[in-house]
Amino acid sequence: MAEPAPQRFTIAVIPDTQNYVDFTHQRAEGFAFDARDLMDQQLQFVADNSVSRGGDIVFATAVGDVWQHPIIDIDPDHAARGFRPRPAPAGAGVAAWADGVRNVEIPAATAAYDRIDGVLPFSVVSGNHDYDGQWWDEQWPQDLTAPPGDLRRLGMIHIGGLTAFTQAFGATSKYFKDRPWYVASHDDGADSAQVFEAGGYRFLHIGLQMAPSDASLKWAETVIHAHPGLPTLITTHDFIDKTGQRRAHPVVDLNALDPFDNSAQGVWDKLISRNPQIFMVLSGHHNGQAFRTDLNRQGGAVYQLLSDYQDRNQTALDTGLAPGRAPGIGDGWLRLMIFDMGGDVPTVRVRTYSTYYGVYASDQAEYARRYKPNEQPQMTDDGFVAADDFVIRLEDFRARFGPGAHEAGR
């Protein structure tokens, strides 16, 4: 990491970690190694390179899917509304998973986050895998006769209940209770807001639960109005896919299943496009990486980034597992958003770094060969590497948010 500088700082983006803590990916279940160790490495890297320890990471945000499996068939709220769960696929079931979630997955996740607790401000949002219940909606039943790889075989997955998530990462959890930078919450902390200072500016960050309801979006708008003029970032689990479209995953299109939920386009229309303080949106969920820029209703740029490396399986292949038997783990890759507010036009260099291999994507000779075929096969090798190492020019940032503390005193 670079030496700290007053106008230069880094935001760490922690992609989906579900495969690291998956209880079936640990030695106790006969796996080749403890995948949870890779998540520990990621969070330790963030801690070691935080401002409080001499680095330049000022904030960390996790895009959701912290753990892997559900703990109940269906949450009480959806059951009361008439939803009914269908059986889980191929003999698996919640009864077989719940102990693994409670005894392995959630403890592994919180043990990793203990490494940054009290070290720097951070946010964790829920992904679809973090909900108490996941079930297959009976209107779109599973088709187990479909060929492998055909997403139709999974039907449509619905989710509900965030009791376990808010116990671990809610407003009253040990991570956020009474922290001065944790400034607001909604729905027991399923939605939350944080502030941090860096580069001469005070920033607002809002974390939104998966497919947020109108109530969540209205709450977020009140938080923005309570912090006028602050450059604002949003993190939510599902926003853009790997083609850069605001389009739901075909298996987890929650807006198609429940009118209480908002699609990514709904979040854009109802919250992001109408609030000019929002300049960046970070998300995961879709395996791969993408970047797009759109103008809000006032003509300001909104930079949207997908960062999700959960299906990368080189660490499993390294143990000697055959390609068809080596599950996705994540290989330690995370995103580092390096802000430089010192030039005439502020910039963000987006880099992708593996805390397991200790290398940036652009410096790993095998990077495109290892990961492009599964993530972005249509790209050239150079284009694939460039998608994980590029610069965003914040052309209108100062016009929208002022000169910043450093420039104002000149």
Cα 257 to Cα 26, 91, 214: the distances in Å are: 34, 25, 15
Whether residue 244 lies inside any domain: the answer is no
pLDDT tens figures, 231-253:
999 999 999 999 999 987 766 66
Whether residue 210 lies inside any domain: the answer is no
Comparison of pLDDT for 185 and 6, the residue scoring more: 185
- The mean per-residue pLDDT over the stretch 177-181 comes to 98
The distance between the two most distant Cα atoms of the chain, rounded to a whole number of Å, is 69
What's the 3-state SS for 246-272? CCCCCCCCHHHHCCCCCCHHHHHHHHH
| Tally of domains within the chain | 1
Whether residue 217 lies inside any domain: the answer is no
Band of pLDDT at residue 258, cut at 50, 70 and 90:
confident
Whether residue 279 lies inside any domain: the answer is no
On the question of pLDDT at 142 being above 80, the answer is: no
Whether residue 237 lies inside any domain: the answer is no
pLDDT at position 406 is 59
φ/ψ of 363, rounded to 5, equals -105, 0
Of 90-99, 148-157, 375-384, which range is least confident? 148-157
Whether residue 152 lies inside any domain: the answer is yes
pLDDT at position 392 is 98
Residue 36 belongs to what domain range?
8-179+302-408
Band of pLDDT at residue 144, cut at 50, 70 and 90:
low
Whether residue 198 lies inside any domain: the answer is no
On the question of pLDDT at 119 being above 80, the answer is: yes
pLDDT tens figures, 28-74:
999 999 999 999 999 999 999 999 999 999 999 999 999 999 999 89
pLDDT at position 207 is 98
Contact (CB, 8 A) for 180 and 197: no
On the question of pLDDT at 395 being above 60, the answer is: yes
Whether residue 197 lies inside any domain: the answer is no
Distance CA 240, CA 305 (A): 7
